[in-house]
Amino acid sequence: MPMTSRIAVAKARTALLALKPSGQIDLPGGIVDSIQHLYGGDFVPWAGGVLITDGEVILGAVGASGAHAREDEEAVQTAVQRWRENRSAADQT
């Protein structure tokens, strides 16, 4: 569905706002509603948004949407891991 791309971006932004994976955010509904209002609906505390890091440095975040939240999370974790592997291989050459 077309809206899944926006949800994926919102999950990535949520991870950046919270400085942790979006699926690890555990807040009461009222607080989530307030935060969503502050960020124009771009706060989605469901699995699928993860930080991209280099050691302690946050480089960015990535999100996925369109499947079950856990499947979204697995997809982005796999993508980040493959990116790290390719980055390490490039650094060695």
Mean pLDDT over 5-34 rounds to: 94
Residue 38 is part of a domain; what is its CATH number?
A: 3.30.450.150
Cα atoms found within 13 Å of the Cα of residue 31, Cβ hemisphere only: 5
How many domains, the chain? 1
User: Using CA atoms, how far apart are residues 49 and 85, in angstroms rounded to an integer?
Assistant: 20
In the predicted model, what is the mean pLDDT of the chain? 93
- The structure's pTM equals 0.88
Whether residue 63 has pLDDT greater than 90: yes
Domain of 53, in residue numbers: 3-92
